[in-house]
Structure 1
Amino acid sequence: MATTYQRPDGRWCGQIIIEKANGQKERKTVYGDTRRAVEQQISLLDADQQKGIIANDGKTTFATFANKWLEQNINIRPSTRRRYESLLRLHINPEIGPILLSRLHADHLAELYAKKSKRLAPRTILHIHRLIHKIMEVAIKRDLIVQNPARKVDKPDVEDPEIFPLTKEQAQAFLEEARKSPLYALFVLALTTGMRQGELLGLRWRDVDLKNGLISIKHTLDRHTLELGPVKSKQSRRTIALSHLALEALKEHKATQSKERRAAKEWNDLDYVFAASNGTAIRVENLVRRHYQPLLVKAEIPIRSFHNLRHTCATLLLIHKNTHPKIVSQLLGHSSIKVTIDLYSHLTPDSLGSVAQSMDSMFVEESSAPYKHRRLTVA
């Protein structure tokens, strides 16, 4: 509520009550030579409060609030926390950290994105945008501001990363070579269940039901701390039915591991299904460099990331087995079926060839077909 009045000296005075973030109210006083001038100042103060510009105590900077939010948030996965800390420390706080939270505008963010885009990948800029947006949404919930400036800035355009799943023949060749590996069961699970790398390395025997052929995905292994943490999302916590191939591979792996445990001079009984020679968790770097990549070379498959085994599982089910996307989404633990469709709505070269052959079968008699389609492979 605002009031205006004229003082004995002829000048005009106006007062407005401002509610601060802590709930306390503060009286703001303005002066002017005319009543109209005072009313304009009052209107500006009222508009600022409605926009959230003076909703807090005016002393909290973006960096102070962001760092405190990250420190107090106990629901962030360790890997996500490290990424947030890195983005804030290296890219965000040096640029907009000193700005008062109440004075941060869309122009500041647009300038930040433009500057960082000169040397950072678009996806990193997108991560920066999403983090700032998340932080400002928390500020709104805490009544520090009313509007989120990140909503007024266009998020960076990012192309979906190209994925390189194995063809059916490549997958078969890879598993054939993997038979000689002590981690054969791990690679079978990767290809037949689509489990994430951290889920595989964090799998424990207590979560494996060999009798009923089931696996419960409850944890993921942090690649930096080698500690078990929560899975990526609520949907990632799931139960998977094992194929006969995977079940037999796990039974054989358990028998072999039991022999190694008895023969080992030192064994840490941490219950890992896939463990190092002393029973501890396997490091991601060792899995990839000592086991996965050498198998690709032996199978004469171009080097690609371990995550492409997960993509391979999905594409084989969707393209070659015509499995419904909802089933694949549940198997992979995606947050929604939309994620699955967006990732794999493309057609692999193999499937393009099969589509062309299907069209021939509908419109051209086989005997009169002038040529046969050559099988295409993913490079």
Structure 2
Amino acid sequence: MIVYAGRDPVTGKRMYLRESVRGTDKNARKRAERALNKLLSQIDGQRSAPSSATLSYALGEWLRTNEIEQSTRETYEGYISRVIRPALGETAVNKITARTLEKFYSDLRRCRARCDGKPFIERHAKDGDHDCVAAKCKPHVCKPMAASTVRQIHFILSGTLDAAERWDWISTNPARVVRKPKQKPPEPDPPTPDEAARLSETAFRLDEDWGTLVWLAMTTGMRRGELVALRFSRLDLENGVIDLRRNWVGGQEKDTKTHQNRRIALDTETIVLLTEHKRRVQERTEALGIEFTDDLFVFTGAKSPDHSHPYPPDALSSRYTNMAKRLGIRTHLHALRHYSATELLTAGVDLPTVSGRLGHGGGGATTLRVYAAWVAASDRKAAEILGSRMPKRRDK
């Protein structure tokens, strides 16, 4: 039987619900009546008819109406165009089930190309005849997609289906009950104190400005974008504080990652280094015939000697990585943030203070999750210190 269910809220097409009842016996009529009542009840219980809009359309609408950072939007658009739309784009959004999503994630974890398991040659030239040797075509080798990437794809699909549910295109969001890949536990790998000392000494030998930048990253745990966006107006060298409010992402100055302002206290040595750095920049701008202002960026690359533009983030990371490689140290710039955190925790600094300096959200929950091992070590050290200060027991 077929029951009219109204018009599709997206496409405007007439919608129908269908139910089959088989049999010619005397009970068939009763079964048909029950099926009809079920369909009518289903229609009455819905505020509007379920939509037959495709997932591709829903993804587009979700992106259009969702307020997200431009860099995040570009990342999502990449996953949607390369991974989601080719696989599920033409599927009606009301046909997406938890099983559909779990199989999709499983396929990606097996092979990011979602091949059928049969051997084939990956053709690098898509159109027309070509020479496979010249085009360097090779046999396909399955490469599983990282669990973290699949989790991001799940977030996109879950957000889209949440919106579809709010818009009454579907009755429930199937992504809510989907089993997604487990999140890999954080594994911070900071440089050792000896490696940190070598990195700092080398940076200062290369360039005083560069050495100051590396030193500041070590002592404050600031993110790369925060270091890049730092202006002299945010340095209170008299009171030894950085008023951190901005971040540099995607070529733009924005709020900090967690959208919170924080003040980071500076030690005496760091204050001296930043004071000397400011003097150098003042002398540099005067030599160029430019007036020094506190609005200038603290750190900049070779292409901006007047400090009117920030240090390019990618160039900053590359320079640090190359310096570390020459020293035979396997590390990266973000590991200095880990170094700052782990050194503070190892020294017995309390978790809320470390979390505040790092700008973590969640009241210390993020810090605890990422640096659990160092927090445990700090707790053990605190226990030993307290135990050593307890009154000694007298022997009976």
TM-score for the superposition, normalised by structure 1 = 0.76
Amino acid at match of 1:229: K
Quick one: which of 18, 21, 34 aligns to 1:39?
Answer: 34
Quick one: which of 236, 256, 260 aligns to 2:280?
Answer: 256
Task: Say whether the 8 Å CA contact 1:274–1:282 is kept in structure 2.
Answer: yes
Counterparts of 1:123 and 1:232, CA distance in 2: 19
RMSD between aligned residues: 3.9
- Check 1:31–1:294 CA distance in 2 against 1; reply closer, same or farther (3 A cut): closer
Match of 2:118 in 1: none
Amino acid at match of 1:263: A
Counterparts of 1:267 and 1:303, CA distance in 2: 41
Amino acid at match of 1:207: R
**Per-residue CA shift, 1:59-117, capped at 9, x if unaligned?**
422111212221332x3122211211111111112111111222211111012101111
- Check 1:229–1:27 CA distance in 2 against 1; reply closer, same or farther (3 A cut): same
Counterparts of 1:82 and 1:16, CA distance in 2: 38
Match of 1:221 in 2: 248
Counterparts of 1:352 and 1:230, CA distance in 2: 34
Counterparts of 1:27 and 1:209, CA distance in 2: 68
Task: Say whether the 8 Å CA contact 1:96–1:108 is kept in structure 2.
Answer: no
Match of 1:131 in 2: 156
Matched residue count:
342
Residue 279 in 1 paired to residue 305 in 2? no
Match of 2:263 in 1: 239
Counterparts of 2:18 and 2:183, CA distance in 1: 49
Match of 1:146 in 2: 171
Match of 2:77 in 1: 85
Task: Say whether the 8 Å CA contact 1:102–1:144 is kept in structure 2.
Answer: yes
Task: Say whether the 8 Å CA contact 2:324–2:330 is kept in structure 1.
Answer: no
- Check 1:91–1:27 CA distance in 2 against 1; reply closer, same or farther (3 A cut): closer
- Check 1:210–1:19 CA distance in 2 against 1; reply closer, same or farther (3 A cut): same
Counterparts of 1:203 and 1:43, CA distance in 2: 63
TM-score for the superposition, normalised by structure 2 = 0.73
- Check 1:46–1:86 CA distance in 2 against 1; reply closer, same or farther (3 A cut): farther
Counterparts of 1:200 and 1:267, CA distance in 2: 23
Unmatched 5+ stretches in structure 2: 22-27, 111-143, 390-396
- Check 1:177–1:240 CA distance in 2 against 1; reply closer, same or farther (3 A cut): same
Match of 1:68 in 2: 61
Counterparts of 1:275 and 1:80, CA distance in 2: 25
Amino acid at match of 1:217: L
Quick one: which of 148, 172, 175 aligns to 2:197?
Answer: 172
Unmatched 5+ stretches in structure 1: 1-11, 363-379
- Check 1:56–1:229 CA distance in 2 against 1; reply closer, same or farther (3 A cut): farther
Secondary structure of 2:373's counterpart equals coil
Counterparts of 1:41 and 1:286, CA distance in 2: 67
Secondary structure of 1:302's counterpart equals coil
Amino acid at match of 2:86: P
Counterparts of 1:31 and 1:214, CA distance in 2: 73
Alignment of 1:8-47 (within 5 A): 34=29, 36-44=31-39, 46-47=41-42
C-alpha displacement at 1:37, in angstroms?
0.6
Match of 2:357 in 1: 331
- Check 1:113–1:34 CA distance in 2 against 1; reply closer, same or farther (3 A cut): same
Counterparts of 2:4 and 2:73, CA distance in 1: 45
- Check 1:110–1:28 CA distance in 2 against 1; reply closer, same or farther (3 A cut): closer
Task: Say whether the 8 Å CA contact 1:194–1:311 is kept in structure 2.
Answer: yes
